[in-house]
Amino acid sequence: MNLMPKLAARAEAGRPVRCALIGAGKFGSMFLAQVPHIDGLEVAVIADLDPERARNACRTVGWDEARLGQTRFVADGLEAAQADGVEVVIEATGHPAAGARHALAAIAAGRHVVMVNVEADVLVGPVLAAKARAAGVVYSMAYGDQPALVCEMVDWARAAGFTVAAAGKGTKYLPAYHQVTPDGVWGHYGLTPEAAKAAGMNPQMFNSFLDGTKSAIEMAAIANACGLDVPENGLSFPPCGVDDLAHVLRPKAVGGQLERDGMVEVVSSLERDGRPVFRDLRWGVYVVLKAPNAYAAACFKQYGLPTDSGGLYAAMYKPFHLIGLELSISVLNAALRGEATGATRGWRGDAVATAKRALKAGETLDGEGGYTVYGKLMSAAASRAAGALPIGLAHHVKLKRDVAAGAVVTADDVVLDEASQIVALRRELATLS
């Protein structure tokens, strides 16, 4: 990538890459742990609702008092997004409305944006990306998180002349997980509620990983960035290990489980009866390639790629991802090369609110990973036609009418604040598509 020579030149010239971090949670803390070991990269400002908690997070990951003294800690993300001397703003709050607000402020101030906040990106990313392009700044996915890693693999495959049959990630999944609530999440992670609380783990956030919401959000982000299609009936989460990726994730017409080439999908690390999948991809990402000709297909076999029975489809995968520990790759690409590590280019996929149980008029939805709804992947066209409520707008909104268990919640089912910035941005999304 040639990043380090470029960064060394900046450091030698006394012009370090200076960034602002908004949100000092787990992802942000992992990034902060690496910063002292990257000469030429500095965090000028850290914004968190609790600045003292952010300071303590820095101490926990190994920052000394000298580095702490060189960093400004603020409670207002907008202040960080507009701070003088900052080149790159990292949005890592996980809150869709806040993420969009901070990104808009950073773009208006001429700062590059690294959007860790996939929830905001899937909700209004095409709008934010368009505004960034118009302003001449970078709007980027966060390297280390699975969507950016998949985008890199898809780009590699296409640049090498292959058709992308499928791309996505692995996760732990069973159909019953869609109904899990924060009260029952820890048993699925092998933890007691007491141990999870002692470790500072948020049950609603971890439940979003389990109930399918995070998978829907991430696959929508990949579809939007890579121009891939989403399954007509949502993700099917087929059980599949790395050796079988090319066999399972190919079109049904040739014996696989996809509707056609060019799809996103998530594979499960569990068989439907709960047994572990052999050589699972729970922590990794993959791309399934289609050879353009018989010669390339023969090369797949000659060089040991796992292929389908016909040899035309082959799989490449990365077994692990290090989330925030790799985030500096995005920051440096934006500042030094003016490039994104994956960026939304259109609206192809959506993550829509789906009832976990029968919901009654007057109830308040509690959003991603909560008690009332989970996020289901849907094509943008189908979402628009149904008037579906995106999971990113399903936070603290009241139902106007009953919704059956398993049904998609629509925007007409809830009371939305039409005066809010995030609702207006979502309305603007429809005008871009």
The pLDDT assigned to 1 comes to 66
CA nearest neighbour of 334 among 53, 32, 103, 118 = 103
Spatial distance between the Cα atoms of 152 and 154, rounded to a whole number of angstroms? 6
- Report which of 306, 92, 53, 112 is spatially closest to residue 205, judged by C-alpha positions: 92
Instruction: Answer for the pair 266, 222: CB distance below 8 angstroms, yes or no.
Output: no
pLDDT at 148 over 70: yes
Q: What's residue 132's pLDDT? A: 98
pLDDT of residue 68: 96
pLDDT for residue 433: 60
List the domain boundaries for the chain: 3-144+324-337, 147-173+212-320, 349-432
Which of 184-188, 216-220, 324-328 shows the lowest mean pLDDT across its residues?
Answer: 184-188
3-class SS of residue 253: helix
Q: Looking at residue 407, what is its pLDDT?
A: 97
- State what percent of residues in the chain have pLDDT above 90: 96
Torsion (CA) 178, 183, 185, 187 in degrees, nearest 10: -130
- Average pLDDT, stretch 200-205? 86
Backbone φ and ψ for 130, nearest 5 degrees, come out as -65, -40
Q: Is 85 exposed, middle or buried (0-12, 13-18, 19+ CB in 10 A)?
A: exposed
Length, in residues, of the chain: 433
Confidence label for 244 from pLDDT (cuts 50, 70 and 90): very high
Q: What is the CATH number of domain 3-144+324-337?
A: 3.40.50.720
CB atoms within 10 A of CB 198: 10
pLDDT of residue 431: 83
Task: Report the share of the chain in percent with pLDDT over 70.
Answer: 100
Q: What sign for the dihedral angle of Cα 213, 216, 219, 224? A: negative
The reported pLDDT for the residue numbered 417 is 94
pLDDT at residue 432 tops 90:
no
Query: Could you identify the residue written with the tokens 């900046």?
Result: 10
| Summary mean pLDDT of the chain | 96
CB 329 within 8 A of CB 143: yes
pLDDT above 80 for 141: yes
**pLDDT exceeds 80 at position 199:** no
Instruction: Name the CATH topology of 349-432.
Output: Type Iii Antifreeze Protein Isoform Hplc 12 (3.90.1210)
SS3 144: coil
Q: What pLDDT digit, counting tens, does each position of 54-63 carry? A: 999 999 999 9
What pLDDT does 353 receive? 98
Q: What mean pLDDT do residues 302-316 have?
A: 96
Q: Average pLDDT for residues 206-228, to the nearest whole number?
A: 97
Tens of pLDDT, residue by residue over 336-395, are 999 999 999 999 999 999 999 999 999 999 999 999 999 999 999 999 999 999 999 999
At residue 377, the pLDDT reads 98
Give this prediction's pTM: 0.96
197 — pLDDT class (breaks 50, 70, 90):
confident
